[in-house]
Structure 1
C-alpha cells in the first residue's frame, strides 16, 4: 500500500511473519536485509523533511487536519500523564509534542527517533532555538535524546538505569514496526520492559478496518480525495510519488500480540469516534478552540474541510496499560541524572543493533 497527502509520507504492503516469539525471551529478534533497507528509507525520508515557518505551516492544505491530530495527542496526554511522570517518547520526530508534555508538568523525558535530522531538530526545539513564536520559557523537565531504531535495538539495555517509565507515547509510528513480526515484537518488548506495572502506552496509528473497507468499496486499487490518496501497489513504480514504506496493522492482531507482553487494552477509538466523545467535555472543547482545528470561534471561522475530515477517519487512537499494580516505593527510582536542561550535539546517544 502507498499512501500520500500534501507533506506526508507514502506507504506500502502488509506485515509478513518472519520469526516466532522466543518463549525464553532472549531478545534475539533477527532482521533480514530488506527490512533494514526499509527502516533506513523511513529515516532518510523524515531526516530530509525541512522545518516549516509558521506562515508555511498555516498555508498547508491540511493545516486543520494537523491541528486536529495535535488536539487528539493533547487529549491523550492530558488524560494519562501525571505531574512528575517519566516519559518515553518513541519515534519522537522533531519534538512536536514537547510543549504538550511540558503543560502536563512531567518530570523527565527521553525521546528516541531513527532519523538523525529529526533528532537534531528535536534538540534545537528543546533548547529553545526553534519555534520562537510558540516558546515563552524553557522547558521545565530534563531530557535525554537517542538516535536509533527503537523497533530493532534493545532499549532496556540502553535505558536500564533510567527505567521504569510511567508513560510511553508512540504517535503515528507504531505501524512502522510491523514490517516483520520480529520488529513488532521488539517494539512491544522494549515498551513492556521499560514501563512500570500499571504504566500506560498511548498512541495513534492507521485504522486498518477503515482502510480495507475503503479498498473494497473502491474501483481498482486506488482511492482518495483532494488531499490524500492510497494505492495498493507491490511494485512502487511511481518514481515521482513521495515514497516511504508503511504497513497497515489489523488492530485485533496488534492487541493480541500486545497481550503477550503483559498489556491490556484500555480503549481503541477511530479518530471520528474520539472527537465525538471528547468534544462533549468542556475542557477539551476549549483546547480545540485554542488549537484552531475547528476555527477559534471568533475571527477565525475556518475549519476542517470534508476531505480533511475523511483523512482523519483513516486513523485511530489507542491506550494500553501494562498489567500489574504499581509499587509506589519503586516509582521514580531510576537514575535521571543523564537528562539535561540544555542538550548539546555530543549529548545525543547514537545506538545501533
Structure 2
C-alpha cells in the first residue's frame, strides 16, 4: 500500500500539534543540551532533535509503547548526538533509583504527549513530577503539551447548561455526556456535573482518528501544587491559541507551509484550526538553581486539604486564578527570557472558555 493510501488521522490536528512541538523546541532547546523526553515512543522525531543541535537524548517510555523499535531506528540513523533509551513508566517507577547516573543531568525534560495519563491518581502525578525533578539539573526546565482541561470542561459545562435550558420535556437528572464539533467529539465516561481532581476520564475522538483516545482531565492547581512539592517552580500554563498569537510573528511561516486547510493567506488560523488548537495547552516549570539570584517566583495557592478540591471546574478557575508578583527583570514570559518576544506582562493564565 502506498503512503498516500494509508489511512491517516485528521491532518489539521497533527499539523497544529506539530507546530506547537516545533515551536516549543525552538524556544527551549539550545545547542549541546541534554534532553530527556517522557513518553517518547509515539513517533520517530530524530531529525527534529538533530536540527536543534542537542548533545544527548534520553528517551523514556513504557515497554508497550514500542520503545525498543524506536531505539533501534534511532541508532541506525547515526545522528550527531548520543542517545539512551529506557523502558520505564515515569508515573509509577522510581527513576532516581533506576537511573542513578542520569539524575540531575538533564537540561530539559519534556512531555509532549500523555502527561494526562498520570492524572489517573494523585500518586501517579506525584511520582511523575518527582521523577522530573530528579532528572533535571538546577535551572533546568520541564515543559510540554497536554489537553487543556479548562477549555474541555468549559465546553462540557456549556453543553450541560444548554441541555437544561431547552424544554421542560427533558428528563430530569440526566446530564448529556458528549460534546460534538466539526473536527472532534469529547465524551465523558460518567455523566456528572462534578468531578474529583484526579481520575476524571473522558474520550477524545478527532476526525479521522481510529480509535478514540482515553484521557484524564489535568487539574491545573493540583499540577502546580504537586510540582511545587517536588521542587519545581511554576512558570506558565498557556492555551495553544494564546501561544500561537504570542509567537505567530516568529512561527507563522511554519503553519503557512501546511496549506490552506490550517491558515488563511494572511497567516491567520481558520476557525476550525483555532477550535482544534484551543483543546491543548502548554505547561512550563523550572527547577530552581540555588546559586542563581534572584530565584524564580511562583504563585501562592491557598493551603487546604486536597481532598476538599472536589468541586465544579468553574469554581477553582474563579478562586485559584492568581496573578503572581512581577518576576525579576529578564524573566517574564518564557519566550521573553529566551529573547524571542518583546516585553509583556507575566501572569498566571488558566485558559478561558471558548
Question: Fold-level match, TM-score > 0.5?
Answer: yes
Instruction: Give the number of aligned pairs.
Output: 261
Following superposition, the deviation at residue 305 of structure 1 comes to 6.1
Distance 1:293 1:193, change over 3 A: farther
Q: Is 2:216 the counterpart of 1:251? A: no
1:156 corresponds to which residue? 96
- The structure whose Rg is larger is 2
2:64 corresponds to which residue? 116
Following superposition, the deviation at residue 89 of structure 1 comes to 0.5
Equivalent pair of 2:256/2:267 in contact (CA under 8 Å): no
For structure 2, list consecutive stretches of 5 or more residues without a partner in the other structure: 164-175, 192-200, 293-354
Query: Which residue of 87, 91, 103 maps to 2:51?
Result: 103
2:281 corresponds to which residue? 316
Secondary structure of residue in 2 paired with 1:186: helix
Distance 1:206 1:326, change over 3 A: farther
Report Cα offsets for 1:281-335 as digits up to 9, x if no partner.
2xx2333344x2667999x9999764443222111011111112569xxxxxxxx
Secondary structure of residue in 2 paired with 1:279: helix
Report Cα offsets for 1:73-130 as digits up to 9, x if no partner.
11111111111111111000234433221111111111111143531342244145xx
Secondary structure of residue in 2 paired with 1:280: helix
Distance 1:94 1:61, change over 3 A: closer
1:36 corresponds to which residue? none
Q: Which has the higher contact order (CA 8 A, sep 6+)?
A: 1
CA distance in 2, matches of 1:108, 1:294: 37
Equivalent pair of 1:264/1:322 in contact (CA under 8 Å): yes
Q: Is 2:215 the counterpart of 1:266? A: no
2:25 corresponds to which residue? 77
CA distance in 1, matches of 2:25, 2:180: 30
CA distance in 1, matches of 2:124, 2:16: 29
CA distance in 2, matches of 1:259, 1:208: 20
CA distance in 1, matches of 2:95, 2:41: 17
**Where does 1:202-281 land on structure 2 (aligned, <5 Å)?**
202-218=143-159, 219=163, 220-234=176-190, 242=211, 244-281=213-250
- Provide TM-score, normalisation by structure 2: 0.65
Deviates more, 1:85-94 or 1:307-316: 307-316
Equivalent pair of 2:255/2:263 in contact (CA under 8 Å): no
1:140 corresponds to which residue? 80
Equivalent pair of 1:93/1:115 in contact (CA under 8 Å): no
Equivalent pair of 2:16/2:273 in contact (CA under 8 Å): no
Following superposition, the deviation at residue 211 of structure 1 comes to 0.9
1:174 corresponds to which residue? 115
Equivalent pair of 1:94/1:120 in contact (CA under 8 Å): no
Distance 1:117 1:208, change over 3 A: closer
Query: Which residue of 197, 220, 226 maps to 2:138?
Result: 197
